[in-house]
A = this chain, B = another copy of it.
Amino acid sequence: MKQKIRYATVGLGHIAQTAVLPAFKHTENSELAALVTGNSGKDRELSERYSVRAYAYADLENAVAEQQVDAVYIATPNSLHREYTERAARAGAHVLCEKPMATTEEDCEAMMRAAEENKVKLMIAYRLHFNDANLRAVELAQSGDLGELRYFSSLFGLQVNAGNIRVRKDLGGGTLYDIGIYCINAARYLFRDEPIEVVGLTASNGEERFSEIEEMTGALLRFPRERLAVFTCSFGSTDVAQYDLVGTKGRLRLENIYQSAKTGRTVRVEPVPKRRRPDLEMKIKRPPIEQPELVGGSAPHQG
């Protein structure tokens, strides 16, 4: 029998407790090997629940060595993604990191450098492009039935409460980092291309919960072949999650799946080469997890 990949989960917040940890129950090629957390209050209970040892953040390297960890799943606040990716890579562990990769280009490049230098794999845990409806949309977009693809439009909105990690600047919160990335990614995997120009606006209605980050972001992106993508993402609206893709001959809309701009100026984006993009072959079906009881009152972290 093939040996399973042994994961240490780093960060035990909402996404780890509600999605990552319980999902190991259904993995065929992976198993949970250790927990790494900065919150000692959560250690014991989760350690017992999942029958693995818990380590402090400072002891990540020990966890990797002592528990024969092959890979880490980084579920810390966004602002810590770089640090734990670099440390895990130096310790020889592959890295699967929660979205967004990081909140600055500099951090992202440092993470890629760390993975390269230490010869480990680095992957960001986006999941929506593996969703069945999205893979079908990708297939339809590629089929020619829509003609030449011309423009994309997406809305992604929800209400986020004051104090939530998503509206805390020091922890890497923000509409673009948390949900706008889904809109950008959808345009990327539908167009099978990378944006080359972007312009946008942010807005805030003045409520206390939006004192650190913007209420919403609107952006327009130019893609190669003169395609346009536009989206609005918001932490202050009713739930909305949709995209429209319009071609010369047809159009498609996806609803309830999901849906750059600090300045008002156009920003040129350097093209990024891309080897492989999401397609139907990548689909893996696993049973849904049962929701476990939360430990330590974690606020929701990820969309």
Of A54-62, A87-95, A119-127, A143-151, the stretch lying at the interface with chain B is A143-151
Q: How many subunits of this chain does the assembly comprise?
A: 2
Q: Which of A234-289 contact B (CB under 8 A)?
A: 234, 236-238, 240, 242, 244, 246-251, 264-266
Knowing A204-B226, A228-B203, A230-B220 touch, does A247 contact B251 (C-beta < 8 A)?
no
| Known contacts A199-B220, A201-B220, A237-B247, then 12 further A-B pairs from the complex at CB < 8 Å, ordered by chain A residue | A146-B238, A151-B232, A199-B200, A205-B225, A215-B226, A218-B230, A228-B232, A230-B231, A230-B232, A238-B247, A238-B250, A265-B265
Interface-side segment among A1-9, A76-84, A129-137, A153-161: A153-161
CB distance from A235 to the nearest CB of B (A): 10
The residue in chain B whose Cβ has the minimal distance to the Cβ of A233 is B151
Residues on the B chain within 8 Å of A146, using CB: 238
- Contact among B151, B153, B226, B231 with A206 in the assembled complex (CB-CB below 8 Å): B226
A237-B149 Cα distance, complex, nearest whole Å: 8
Number of interface residues of A (CB under 8 A): 46
**A161 CB to nearest B CB, Å:** 13
- List B contacts of A155 (CB < 8 A): 151, 153, 244, 246
Q: Tell me whether A246 and B234 are in contact (CB under 8 A).
A: yes
A36 CB–B CB distance under 8 Å: no
Tell me whether A150 and B216 are in contact (CB under 8 A): yes
Checking B215, B232, B251, B264 against A266 with a beta-carbon cut-off of 8 angstroms, the contacting residue is B264
Cβ contact within 8 Å between A248 and B236: yes
Given the complex of chains A and B, what is the CA–CA distance between A204 and B151 in angstroms? 12
Inter-chain contact B218/A220, CB cutoff 8 Å: yes
